[in-house]
């Protein structure tokens, strides 16, 4: 089949796990394409993929240009003005920017005879009159609608309208856990056979990194630190982790440094304020965005990963940590047991005391810590990026028997 694959140039390293996951999966997918029997039509603004050109790959320039984007914004503004001025009885309307973009993509797909369209990461995806396969990582706007990042003005409605439309017409939906599958069925009544569970692979971080001593000097951090790589969204629960640090300090006279890395979508200043209020400034190190080549070293040198997010069911940092010999303390959210098994110490993210107790237990019991490291290494090797890509091709193969009918 001719498989359309849209590469989103807007995803950058600052996007966190989505960038690492998507870029590695794309490379594996293109490498396996020749043996799949399918032809990949790659729509992209980049020229980095020419090395894969051959009988299994075509490149098509995705030029939703600056001029087109400006036109889209102007039309959106005119549409809003028109909406406010027109009479209630009028049925005439102008196209929205998203509708123009969908038309642009649809014309490209039809012109290139794409038979099924595929997205590798769950960024905004146009709903098209071409069969499509889309991955979904979470539906937290439904499960936890009180967090501002999924509920602020317009965001909840935007997500809900998007998913409602997207799921109704999706050929297949990909998710990482049975929990994720059940949530899609529950909230959007998608037939079970159209939802495919493909467990997340473990992203491979750059093996080139600084030495332990150079790393500590570079970022001015002490050894035996707790590590939490997460963008500063409120659902990441940095506050719960700070309260756990305070509990360790007050109840157990244990002071461990905490290293926080990640870009700031808006909640970092609040986390910094709470850090000062709890008198933890000397313990907490804000490194901001860290280049990928340093991430592996930060994992390897950490005493433990403390991944205390409220969101799930799929998360990448625990898998990254496991692959690099860093023991994992993670939130016991729905799906965590399925993804991490017994290779992580699961805690209630709502209870700082629970987080603190897990940290204390690892600090006092080195055999437990080493056992977690060993189990984590084994767990992280269970699924590779090649396994994941092959499962996607298997889903495409399943659909081929249907798609050949037109």
| Residue 396: pLDDT over 70 | yes
pLDDT of the residue at 121: 82
Within a domain: 207: no
Give the DSSP letter string of 205-261: --S----HHHHHHHHT--SS-EEEE--S-GGG-HHHHHHHHHHHHHHH-----EEEE
Within a domain: 286: yes
When pLDDT is averaged across residues 182-209 and rounded to a whole number, the result is 90
| Residue 123: pLDDT over 80 | no
- Which of the residue ranges 102-106, 185-189, 247-251 would you say has the lowest mean pLDDT? 102-106
Task: Specify whether 376 is located in the same domain as 390.
Answer: no
Task: Specify whether 105 is located in the same domain as 252.
Answer: no
| Spatial distance between the Cα atoms of 183 and 166, rounded to a whole number of angstroms | 15
When pLDDT is averaged across residues 252-274 and rounded to a whole number, the result is 96
Could you tell me the pLDDT band of residue 315, with boundaries at 50, 70 and 90? very high
Within a domain: 23: yes
Q: pLDDT, tens digit, for every residue of 323-333?
A: 999 999 999 99
| Spatial distance between the Cα atoms of 196 and 159, rounded to a whole number of angstroms | 21
CA distances from 315 to 57, 318, 323, 330 (A): 31, 7, 14, 10
| Residue 141: pLDDT over 60 | yes
Q: pLDDT, tens digit, for every residue of 36-63?
A: 999 999 988 766 666 556 678 898 887 7
Task: Specify whether 219 is located in the same domain as 151.
Answer: no
| Residue 12: pLDDT over 60 | no
Within a domain: 97: yes
pLDDT of the residue at 214: 85
SS3 195: strand
CATH number of the domain to which 107 belongs? 3.40.50.2000
SS3 139: coil
Task: Specify whether 301 is located in the same domain as 269.
Answer: yes
pLDDT of the residue at 76: 59
Q: What are the strands of the beta sheet with 258-261, ordered from one edge?
A: 284-288, 258-261, 226-229, 304-307, 328-331, 345-347
Within a domain: 320: yes
Could you tell me the pLDDT band of residue 209, with boundaries at 50, 70 and 90? low
Task: Specify whether 160 is located in the same domain as 31.
Answer: yes
Within a domain: 241: yes
| Spatial distance between the Cα atoms of 124 and 120, rounded to a whole number of angstroms | 11
Could you tell me the pLDDT band of residue 239, with boundaries at 50, 70 and 90? very high
Q: Which residue has the higher pLDDT, 14 or 225?
A: 225
Q: pLDDT, tens digit, for every residue of 128-140?
A: 789 999 999 999 9
Range of the domain at 76: 2-201+385-404
Task: Specify whether 237 is located in the same domain as 316.
Answer: yes
Report the predicted TM-score, pTM, of the whole model to 2 decimal places: 0.85
Angle between helices 212-219 and 292-301 (to 10 degrees): 110
H/E stretch holding 370: helix 366-380
Task: Specify whether 375 is located in the same domain as 390.
Answer: no
pLDDT of the residue at 236: 98
Asked whether the beta carbons of 190 and 346 are under 8 A apart, the reply is no
Task: Specify whether 310 is located in the same domain as 253.
Answer: yes
| Residue 379: pLDDT over 90 | yes
| % of the chain with per-residue pLDDT over 90 | 67
| Residue 95: pLDDT over 80 | no
> How many domains would you assign to the chain?
2
pLDDT of the residue at 93: 54
Mean pLDDT (the chain) is 88
Q: pLDDT, tens digit, for every residue of 299-314?
A: 999 999 999 999 999 9
Task: Specify whether 230 is located in the same domain as 179.
Answer: no
Residues with Cβ within 8 Å of 238's Cβ and at least 6 positions away in sequence, in order, are 228, 230, 232, 260, 267, 271
């Amino acid at each position: 089949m001719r498989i359309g694959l849209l590469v989103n140039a807007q995803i950058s390293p600052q996007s966190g796990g989505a960038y690492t996951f998507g870029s590695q999966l794309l490379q594996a997918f293109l490498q396996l394409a020749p043996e799949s029997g399918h032809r990949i039509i790659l729509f992209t603004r980049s020229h980095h993929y020419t090395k894969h050109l051959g009988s299994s790959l075509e490149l098509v320039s995705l030029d939703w240009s600056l001029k087109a984007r400006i036109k889209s914004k102007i039309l959106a503004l005119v549409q809003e003005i028109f909406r406010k001025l027109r009479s209630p009885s009028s049925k005439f309307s102008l196209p929205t920017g998203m509708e123009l973009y969908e038309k642009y993509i649809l014309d490209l797909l039809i012109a290139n005879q794409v038979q099924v369209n595929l997205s590798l990461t769950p960024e905004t995806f146009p709903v098209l009159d071409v069969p499509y396969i889309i991955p979904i990582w979470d539906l937290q706007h439904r499960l936890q609608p009180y967090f501002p990042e999924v509920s602020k003005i317009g965001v909840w409605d935007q997500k809900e309208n998007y998913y409602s439309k997207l799921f109704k017409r999706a050929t297949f939906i990909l998710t990482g856990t049975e929990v994720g599958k059940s949530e899609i069925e529950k909230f959007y009544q998608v037939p079970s056979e159209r939802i495919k569970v493909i467990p997340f692979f473990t992203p491979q971080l750059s093996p080139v990194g600084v030495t332990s001593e150079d790393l500590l000097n570079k970022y001015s951090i002490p050894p035996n630190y707790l590590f939490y790589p997460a963008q500063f969204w409120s659902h990441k629960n940095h506050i719960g982790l700070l309260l756990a640090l305070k509990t360790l300090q007050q109840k157990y006279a244990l002071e461990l440094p905490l290293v926080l890395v990640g870009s700031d979508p808006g909640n970092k200043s609040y986390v910094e304020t709470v850090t000062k209020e709890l008198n933890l400034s000397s313990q907490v190190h804000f490194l901001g965005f860290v280049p990928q080549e340093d991430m592996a070293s930060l994992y390897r040198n950490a005493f433990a990963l403390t991944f205390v997010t409220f969101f799930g069911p799929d998360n990448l940092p625990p898998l990254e940590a496991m692959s690099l010999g860093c023991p994992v303390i993670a939130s016991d959210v729905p799906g965590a047991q399925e993804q991490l098994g017994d290779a992580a110490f699961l805690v209630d993210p709502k209870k700082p005391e629970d987080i603190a107790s897990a940290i204390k237990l690892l600090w006092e019991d080195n055999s437990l810590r080493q056992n977690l490291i060993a189990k984590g290494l084994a767990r992280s090797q269970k699924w590779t990026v090649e396994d994941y890509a092959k499962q996607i091709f298997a889903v495409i193969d399943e659909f081929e028997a249907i798609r050949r009918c037109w």
